[in-house]
Amino acid sequence: MFSIEHEFDATIITLVDDRANITSEDIIVHAFDDCVTVEQFDPRREDTLRITFTLGQIQDLAAALDLPEGVYRIARTKADS
């Protein structure tokens, strides 16, 4: 299950693990104009962990989901930069 919210400066996607017997903490994705952050609360540390991706890294990740094992470089145009 997931939800999508549009705020002033970001789109927020929340992923809820409702299929597992023991549920994980929600994953929250914030999509900004210049980066994407992924957050998840870690109950062992009692802290929220955050990873920040550049938009180029997100494009690479999206492409990687559909490719076989290997090393790749995406050719970028000036419009992509």
Give the whole-number percent of the chain exceeding pLDDT 90: 49
Give the whole-number percent of the chain exceeding pLDDT 70: 93
> Which amino acid is located at 55 in the chain?
L
What Cα–Cα distance (Å) separates residue 35 from each residue in 1, 11, 18, 58? 24, 11, 27, 9
Q: Return the pLDDT at 80.
A: 62
What average pLDDT does this structure show over 44-64? Answer: 93
What average pLDDT does this structure show over 39-45? Answer: 94
Q: Return the pLDDT at 31.
A: 95
pTM above threshold 0.85: no
Would you place residue 44 in the very low, low, confident or very high pLDDT band (cuts 50, 70, 90)? very high
Classify strands 2-6 and 47-54 as parallel, antiparallel or unpaired. Answer: unpaired
Between CA 12 and CA 9 the distance in angstroms is 10
